[in-house]
Amino acid sequence: MLSNSQLKNRPEINGLRALAVLAVILFHAGFSPFRGGYVGVDVFFVISGYLITSIIVKDVEAGSFSFWDFYERRARRILPALFLVILCCIPFARLWMMPMELKAFSASVVWVCLFVSNILFWRQSGYFDEAAELKPLLHTWSLAVEEQFYIVFPVAVLFMWRFGRNRVKLSIAIVAVASLALSEYMSRSHPSVDFFWLPTRTWELMAGALCSFVTPKAGAIRDNFLSGVGLAAIATSVLIFNKTTPVPSLITLLPVLGTSLIILFAREETFICSMLSSGPLVAVGLMSYSAYLWHQPLFAFARLRSLKEPSPQLMILLSCMSIMLAYLSWRFVETPLRRKGAMPLPSGKIAFSALGLSAVLLVTLSWWSSNNIAFPKGLEALQDRIRVNYGLSEDCEGDMNGSRNCRTSEAPEVLLWGDSFSMHLADGIRASAAEVSLIQLTQSVCGPFIGIAPTSASYPVAWAKKCMAFNDHVIEFIKHTKSLKYVIMSSPFSQFVDDDSYVVVRDGSVVLGKEVALESFRSTLDTLMKLGVTPVVFAPPPSPGFNAGMCLVKANIYEAPPQTCSFTLVEAIERQRSVRDFLHEISKNYKVVWLDEAMCRGGDCFASRSNTFIYRDSAHLSHEGSALLGTEMNFYGLLASAAGNRMAE
């Protein structure tokens, strides 16, 4: 995402940038064939490392390198278009964001202007945080990584240059290997840090930096083959990577090395160079930075304004619009202001002062917008109705210390065990029996299984082992709590039984969840029976396929009928097919409560009833929705009937 003056003799790199930004746009638009399109950012990192190093080395060898000129060029390249996009976001944020969303957006503007938005979005990457696709400036995390790199890298190169060119190359190689090793480790232990932080992304930039020191001799057959392999590696990554792929990690070598091969071997006489140098691709590549800036806000605000997920047709239209807006900002902002001395950014200190003042004005305007807007009457109350449902208390998120806020009695009769889908049942249990003696032992994502735990890119093996330890703690608690009669267990179960779900077992190995989930859950239920308590399994609510809670809020704001947020039971069943098959097997021997029996009528499932919000998001029950279902279905009575059936057997 750098100066195109450095690409005048490498049009194929502009073509590669075009493919990268199109992959990112189609990924964020939600088109499943491009589920790995996020690797376009990795391609950008390699290209940036290559170009920045080429610029620095060329100027250092010519004795003309200037930190002032270097940072001024970077500022002119990055900041004007970025500030324009932020400015355009502010009025739409005021129009379509909820109070808490607007405050979060205002904070993101500050962090973006300080070049540390990657740290902000890392801090916001928890299970209950706002969905990533609703954050208009989320994509700026990659710009922050590059900006931090620009600050550190030139200083490091000039320091090492006194020891010779070869020492610089060796140092870059050592840093690259160390960063890759750190990335692989962090992908297994702290995936959110791994994704957002510069130290675990540095190796991708260093891969490009190393390419700047290499000039292979020409060889037609070899060059065609290796550049073709490079493009195939990138394309394969886009098509086969998905949300479960740990990135960055060793597997990210596929698109990174693919990009490096194109940089090194896509010479003028090769087929790949000819293809990437085609006019349309080069044109998109020239404005790829602006296209990257525009696409996420367009998608985010469309999703914020829509009651349900925007249609594929609208997302295609917005994808095209991001290219059109990119042309305008490239033509009238990027290109004119990139030139040194261009008005309104003259050279030197005045340019930095103007950009700094622009940042201050943006932060001030954003802050004022979020704190001086008259929201429609009752909007904050609507927002509160879809607040996170932790059950008895937020303290119960992974609590292993027996917080008093997570129990209603020191001699509990009912244990609520599982993940967030168990948490959201607490209001329903208490609504069906006000004086119930209840204790909650829950941890998000960590379903109520003994001996196995889910794992994914976001929840690595280290986390899974902690999940297993948490569930072992629950079993020990049950063994030593004589007052317990019932154990309510719930989960989406998809993290165990979907086709692409993996679990960690006792010996630390990772296996497909479907292979072991049914046996493990039956064993868990048998263990509870042997301990003298009655287990009752609650199926997850039917899946709407969109954020039903936010749909209800928007339906109230825009005075749309609440039926707008309903969905068909057939669609919900199909979305949860593997989970339902799993629970039907469990129901042959144990009590399973199906919430759709109360939530769906005549083939339709309702997100609200009698002005009661049943959902708080795309999956979880709201506080009031849980209480409504608990009363209608008599959750506590279901426990007693399950115990009675057990005694009859």
- Do the beta carbons of residue 36 and residue 243 sit within 8 Å? no
- DSSP class per residue in 488-499: EEE---HHHHST
The answer to whether residue 343 scores a pLDDT higher than 70 is: no
- Do the beta carbons of residue 101 and residue 134 sit within 8 Å? yes
- Do the beta carbons of residue 269 and residue 248 sit within 8 Å? no
* Per-residue pLDDT at 126: 73
- Do the beta carbons of residue 472 and residue 402 sit within 8 Å? no
* Per-residue pLDDT at 629: 98
Q: Are strands 604-605 and 600-601 parallel, antiparallel or unpaired?
A: antiparallel
Query: CA-to-CA distance for 431 and 415, rounded, in angstroms?
Result: 16
Taking alpha carbons only, the member of 270, 318, 312, 267 closest to residue 294 is 318
In the chain, what are the helix, strand and coil shares in percent, each to the nearest 5? 65, 5, 30
| Type of residue at 522 | R
The answer to whether residue 2 scores a pLDDT higher than 60 is: no
* Per-residue pLDDT at 3: 47
- DSSP class per residue in 291-336: HHHHHHHHHHHHHHHSSSPPPHHHHHHHHHHHHHHHHHHIIIIIHH
Burial bucket for residue 179 (CB in 10 Å: 0-12, 13-18, 19+): buried
* Per-residue pLDDT at 437: 97
CA 137 to chain centre: 13
Query: What SS3 state is found at 277?
Result: coil
CB atoms within 10 A of CB 192: 16
Per-residue pLDDT reduced to its tens digit, 542-599: 999 999 999 999 999 888 998 899 999 999 999 999 999 999 999 999 999 999 999 9
The answer to whether residue 197 scores a pLDDT higher than 70 is: yes
Structure tokens at 560: 């749309």
Per-residue pLDDT reduced to its tens digit, 582-591: 999 999 999 9
> What are the E-state strand segments in 375-509?
414-418, 438-442, 452-455, 486-490, 502-505
Convert 199-218 to b/e letters by CB count within 10 Å (16 or more is b). Answer: bbbbbbbbbbbbbbbeeeee
The answer to whether residue 214 scores a pLDDT higher than 50 is: yes
Domains of the chain: 4-371 (no CATH), 385-648 (3.40.50.1110)
Query: Phi and psi dihedrals of 600, rounded to 5?
Result: -125, 140
Query: What SS3 state is found at 261?
Result: helix
Residue 459, sorted as left (phi over 0), alpha (psi -120 to 50) or beta, turns out to be: beta
The answer to whether residue 363 scores a pLDDT higher than 70 is: yes
- Do the beta carbons of residue 19 and residue 239 sit within 8 Å? no
Residue 617, sorted as left (phi over 0), alpha (psi -120 to 50) or beta, turns out to be: beta
| Type of residue at 426 | A
Per-residue pLDDT reduced to its tens digit, 487-520: 999 999 999 999 989 999 999 999 999 999 999 9
Per-residue pLDDT reduced to its tens digit, 260-285: 999 999 998 899 999 999 999 999 99
Structure tokens at 50: 């290559």
Per-residue pLDDT reduced to its tens digit, 629-649: 999 999 999 998 886 665 555
* Per-residue pLDDT at 400: 77
Q: Is the pTM of this model over 0.75?
A: yes
- Do the beta carbons of residue 547 and residue 607 sit within 8 Å? no
Query: Phi and psi dihedrals of 122, rounded to 5?
Result: -65, -45
Per-residue pLDDT reduced to its tens digit, 28-73: 999 999 999 999 999 999 999 999 999 999 999 999 999 988 998 8
Query: Phi and psi dihedrals of 438, rounded to 5?
Result: -125, 140
Q: How confident is the model at residue 17 (pLDDT cuts 50, 70, 90)?
A: very high
> What are the E-state strand segments in 478-627?
486-490, 502-505, 510-512, 534-538, 567-568, 591-593, 600-601, 604-605, 608-609, 612-613
- Do the beta carbons of residue 150 and residue 74 sit within 8 Å? yes
> What are the E-state strand segments in 357-422?
414-418
Q: Give the mean pLDDT of the chain.
A: 92
Give the position of tokens 């339902």. 580
- Do the beta carbons of residue 183 and residue 200 sit within 8 Å? yes
* Per-residue pLDDT at 645: 65
Per-residue pLDDT reduced to its tens digit, 100-148: 888 899 989 999 999 999 999 999 987 666 688 999 999 999 999 999 9
According to DSSP, residue 531 is labeled T
Query: CA-to-CA distance for 422 and 636, rounded, in angstroms?
Result: 14
Query: CA-to-CA distance for 58 and 126, rounded, in angstroms?
Result: 43
Give the position of tokens 């954003």. 366
Query: What SS3 state is found at 538?
Result: strand
Per-residue pLDDT reduced to its tens digit, 397-435: 987 777 899 999 999 999 999 999 999 999 999 999 999
Residues 6+ apart with CB under 8 A from 24: 37, 38, 40, 41, 139, 292, 295
| 3-state secondary structure string across 569-600 | HHHHHHHCHHHHHHHHHHCCCCEEECCHHHHE
Query: CA-to-CA distance for 280 and 264, rounded, in angstroms?
Result: 23
